[in-house]
Amino acid sequence: MKKSVIALAVSGLAIASVQAAPQANTFYAGAKAGWASFHDGLTQFDAKKNQGEGFGINRNSVTYGVFGGYQITSNLAVETGYDYFGRVRGNATVDGKEKRVGKHTAHGAHISLKGSYPIVDGLDAYARVGAALVRSDYYSQQDANGEFTAVKKDRKKAHNLKTSLVLAGGLEYAITPALAARVEYQWLSRVGNLDKAIRKEGGSSNKFQYSPDVGSVSAGLSYRFGQGPAPVVEPEIVTKNFAFSSDVLFDFGKANLKPAASAALDAAHDEINKLGLAAPAIQVNGYTDRIGKDAPNLKLSQRRAESVANYIVSKGVNPANVTAVGYGKANPVTGNTCDAVKGRKALIACLAPDRRVELQVQGSKEVAM
């Protein structure tokens, strides 16, 4: 039955797409209610040879509580709360009628670490481990001969405080970023100590040890404070430009890289890597000076751009991300500064800035906004 309920909860709640975990450095508070059952230690009461034919145990009861927490990270929180952990009752036949002749109730504060793990959007599985300071209250109605009685003056009371281990696990579903629902199974180990409680009240030591475990299934709602819009992760576009003199990379009128060109291109490649871009797009643009005819200059600039592009690819860059374009005489940077220069050698020297290869690098890296 429990497995069927949990399976239905998972399949039904997994439809939405809200992040289940609250944002870090925020607080939450909530309430829960469910059903508890006391285990172990109770078989000593069940023995008919000790308690008579008409004695019985009611182990099950409601449980409820409030809780709050601080979300350290999206997957780790410190949670505290106060619970009524439940009660167990002893019933016996007295004067031909079934009467309540004994009861143990448990309530107290608890603190635990809560770790979450996302299953699907909007749904987390979580576990808690911690400790609870539990107050156990006991009463029984027995006369001086140890016989069960319905007379109130024969009621004996006792109580004690004891620390118990708390283990819990469950599912948490974000209805909205600020409102969450949870279903949880919680286990308390060795709650209370009847023998010590009786001796504290001046009674004689009990002939059996009664310190039961308490298991409970509950459902709850919590409100998360300070839940603004979820952080939006947007790509940061980064652009970087490099310019190389063709005279550094190539001999005049040639498209084969000089041996010394590798140093300049390797330095550029290292800078590109340091940018930390995801699959950067690299465009290599080749230019010549204005000396000579347009068609040969266009072909020369294209071959030079391809030579540089091939070198970059040889360093491990994806060829699909590298393009090479030759522009020939276009886009000179010298303007008309060399118009009055006389002589071929002097003109070649003056127009050196126009003979260049430019790298345009563009890519994105994820940043939290």
Q: Looking at 224, 257, 286, which one is the last position of a domain?
A: 224
> What local confidence, expressed as pLDDT, does residue 266 receive?
93
197 with 272, same domain: the answer is no
266 with 345, same domain: the answer is yes
pLDDT at 300 over 90: yes
63 with 149, same domain: the answer is yes
Of 90 and 155, the structure prediction assigns the larger pLDDT to: 90
158 with 262, same domain: the answer is no
135 with 194, same domain: the answer is yes
Q: CATH number for the domain including 256?
A: 3.30.1330.60
Number of domains in the chain: 2
59 with 197, same domain: the answer is yes
Give every CB contact of residue 316 below 8 A, 6+ residues apart in sequence.
none
Nearest to residue 67, comparing CAs of 34, 35, 29?
29
pLDDT at 361 over 60: yes
- Which stretch of 3-7, 22-26, 152-156 has the lowest confidence by average pLDDT? 3-7
pLDDT at 27 over 80: yes
The DSSP call for residue 306 is: H
139 with 43, same domain: the answer is yes
pLDDT at 10 over 50: no
198 with 333, same domain: the answer is no
209 with 248, same domain: the answer is no
> What local confidence, expressed as pLDDT, does residue 299 receive?
95
The answer to whether residues 277 and 364 touch, using CB atoms and an 8 Å cutoff, is yes
For the segment 345-352, the average pLDDT, to the nearest whole number, is: 91
Could you report the per-residue pLDDT of 216-274, keeping only the tens digit for each? 999 999 999 988 765 667 788 899 999 999 999 999 889 999 998 999 999 999 999 99
179 with 126, same domain: the answer is yes
> What local confidence, expressed as pLDDT, does residue 206 receive?
56
- Which stretch of 25-34, 176-185, 276-285 has the lowest confidence by average pLDDT? 276-285
202 with 122, same domain: the answer is yes
pTM flag (> 0.85): no
> What local confidence, expressed as pLDDT, does residue 58 receive?
82
- The whole domain housing 141 covers 2-224
Q: Looking at 224, 243, 267, which one is the last position of a domain?
A: 224
Q: CATH number for the domain including 103?
A: 2.40.160.20
> What local confidence, expressed as pLDDT, does residue 192 receive?
83
12 with 142, same domain: the answer is yes
> What local confidence, expressed as pLDDT, does residue 59 receive?
85
Q: Looking at 194, 224, 254, which one is the last position of a domain?
A: 224
Could you report the per-residue pLDDT of 42-67, keeping only the tens digit for each? 655 554 444 444 566 788 999 999 99
The DSSP string of 54-96 is T-EEE-EEEEEEEEEEEEEETTEEEEEEEEEEEEEEEEEEETT
For the segment 290-298, the average pLDDT, to the nearest whole number, is: 93
